[in-house]
Amino acid sequence: MPEFNDARATWELLSEPERRALAVLGRWEGNVTTPGMLGQELRVTWQQAARTARQLKKFGLVTVKSLPKQTSYGISGQGRACLKAGEGTP
């Protein structure tokens, strides 16, 4: 029976914008990433970037920190594993 790779299976479920957002958060790991910054990097509005990040949070790939005047995103351990599994994808 073949080995099941959960991170790889999750990567396959992600849309292209979700994959790009995860890659951006992986590159910026350790830095504060706001919806505006993520949107600028993805070339979408901050609202679209926020929706994408919320979707990734449902998969457990992104952490969201909400403060009264600022929201920021980070990549989770599962997100790093998923990104690593997708690195070999053409």
| CATH class, range 6-85 | mainly alpha
Q: What's the pLDDT band for 72 if we cut at 50, 70, 90?
A: very high
How does pLDDT run across 50-63, given as a tens digit for each residue? Answer: 999 999 999 899 99
The CB-based long-range contact list for 38-44 (8 Å cut-off, 24+ gap) reads 38/73, 42/17, 44/17
pLDDT of res. 89: 57
Spatial CB neighbours of 73, under 8 Å, sequence gap ≥ 6: 25, 33, 34, 35, 38, 53, 62, 63, 64, 65
pTM across the whole model = 0.84
pLDDT at 8 over 60: yes
The answer to whether the beta carbons of residues 17 and 56 sit under 8 Å apart is no
User: Position 81: which residue type?
Assistant: A
The average pLDDT across 23-28 equals 92
